[in-house]
């Protein structure tokens, strides 16, 4: 882990409201693993903002983020040559089995919305050793990860998309939209049963409702979950882990972080192995280890 003042080398809007930023950080670029994150000082805001590393092009790291508040708005306004204060790499990332393991030949990656950010790095990292299917579930086509486009297209967004990585050779990309505007119609979790045959391990990043659906969590009227949340779980394609036949599933939690390195205990969650800090013990956990009924993100 290191704290450095780094130079912004490139920045662009690659989807509506979603920005890609590249930062020169050779120390972090050579040591970061998929699923780890950095924190950035955004202007005069007190708390640093955590962001997953989106991909690495050493000596640079790339960040993908949606403008959602003062911190990310400030970050989206940075220009090449500006300097930002970053700390990282932080947390524990995804655990990848050896490439020659018979139990790890085919990996299934499941992204919900902006959960695509760390999974692109995982795809980049693992594609040479594993067969990969990457599912991206979003509300509508404009939110799908566009990968790198060719020279066609003159809009600012199209120009920004040329900075994105290309889909690694041999990786199958499955698009899922709720409104049916592209790819398959429905939720990412709804198509998992059709993809699990031959899958050895599953990796996921997305909203809490997606994880609850994958874990087979159900709620009753006396629980913490409202009727609206019950409906949300159904829409996510709620099925039991037994039916999903998940041999092993690692998930990356996105929560509000205070310090980002485990000192404040503000991101503590309940697991079957006791209390764990998302920023230090995670953000990646085994799906079955988390007590989902107690999680409040």
For residue range 37-46, what is the model confidence (pLDDT) as tens digits? 999 999 999 9
Same domain, residue pair 243 and 290: no
Cβ density class 85-122: b for 16+ within 10 Å, e for less: ebbbbbbbbbebbeeeeeebbbbbbbbbbbbbbbbbbb
CA nearest to 250, candidates 179, 201, 198, 191: 201
For residue 263, the enclosing domain spans 255-297
Rounded average pLDDT over 180-203: 91
For residue 251, the SS3 value is strand
Same domain, residue pair 24 and 69: yes
Q: Are 74 and 65 in contact (CB under 8 A)?
A: no
Residue 224 confidence (pLDDT) above 60: no
CA distance 95 to 17: 31
Q: CA-based diameter of the chain, in Å?
A: 56
- Indicate the number of domains in the chain: 3
pLDDT by residue (tens digit) across 231-261? 343 344 444 444 455 558 999 998 777 777 7
Is the residue at 221 inside a domain?
yes
Q: Which two tokens stand for residue 115?
A: 């959960």
Same domain, residue pair 264 and 185: no
Q: Are 22 and 58 in contact (CB under 8 A)?
A: no
Same domain, residue pair 191 and 268: no
Considering 26, 58, 90, which residue would you say is the last residue of a domain?
A: 90
- Residue 281 sits in a domain of what CATH number? 2.10.240.10
3-state SS track over 50-118: EEEEEEEECCEEEEEEECCCHHHHHHHCCCCCCEEEEEEEECECCCCCCCCCCCCCEEEEEEEHHHHHH
Same domain, residue pair 279 and 147: no
pLDDT by residue (tens digit) across 106-148? 999 999 999 999 999 999 999 988 999 999 999 999 999 999 7
Task: State residue 150's pLDDT score.
Answer: 55
CA distance 41 to 26: 19
- Residue 226 sits in a domain of what CATH number? 3.40.50.80
Is the residue at 15 inside a domain?
yes
Beta bridge partners of residue 106, listed in sequence order: 131
Same domain, residue pair 161 and 243: yes
For the chain, what is the mean pLDDT? 85
Give the end-to-end CA distance of the chain in Å, rounded to a whole number. 25
Same domain, residue pair 291 and 214: no
Same domain, residue pair 45 and 144: no
pLDDT by residue (tens digit) across 63-116? 999 999 999 999 999 999 999 999 999 999 999 877 555 556 899 999 999 999
Same domain, residue pair 58 and 184: no
The CB density around residue 190, as the number of other CB atoms within 10 Å, is 19
Task: State residue 151's pLDDT score.
Answer: 53
Residue 149 confidence (pLDDT) above 50: yes
């Amino acid at each position: 882990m290191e704290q450095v003042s780094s130079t912004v080398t490139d920045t662009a809007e690659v989807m509506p409201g979603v920005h890609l930023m590249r930062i020169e950080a050779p120390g972090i670029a050579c040591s970061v693993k998929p699923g780890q994150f950095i924190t950035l000082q955004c202007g005069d805001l007190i708390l640093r903002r955590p962001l997953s590393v989106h991909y690495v092009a050493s000596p640079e790291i790339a960040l993908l983020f949606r403008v959602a508040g003062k911190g990310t708005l400030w970050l989206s306004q940075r220009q090449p040559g500006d300097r930002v204060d970053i700390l990282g790499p932080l947390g524990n990332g995804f655990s990848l089995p050896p490439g020659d393991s018979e139990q790890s030949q085919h990996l299934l990656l499941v992204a919900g919305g902006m959960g695509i950010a760390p999974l692109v790095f995982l795809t980049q990292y693992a594609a040479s050793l594993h067969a990969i299917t990457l599912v991206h579930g979003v509300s509508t086509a404009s939110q799908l990860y566009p990968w790198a486009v060719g020279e066609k297209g003159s809009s600012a967004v199209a120009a920004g998309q040329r900075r994105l990585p290309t889909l690694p050779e041999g990786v199958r990309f499955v698009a899922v939209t709720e409104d049916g505007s592209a790819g398959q119609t429905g939720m990412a979790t709804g198509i998992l049963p059709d993809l699990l045959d031959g899958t050895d391990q599953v990796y996921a990043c997305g909203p809490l409702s997606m994880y609850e659906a994958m874990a087979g969590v159900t709620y009753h009227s006396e629980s913490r979950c409202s009727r609206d949340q019950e409906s949300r779980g159904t829409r996510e394609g709620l099925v039991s882990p037994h039916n999903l036949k998940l041999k092993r599933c690692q998930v990356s939690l996105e929560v509000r972080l205070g310090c980002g390195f485990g000192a404040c205990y503000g991101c503590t969650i309940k697991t079957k192995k006791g209390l764990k800090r998302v920023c230090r013990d995670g953000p990646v956990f085994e799906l079955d280890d988390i007590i989902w009924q107690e999680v409040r993100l």
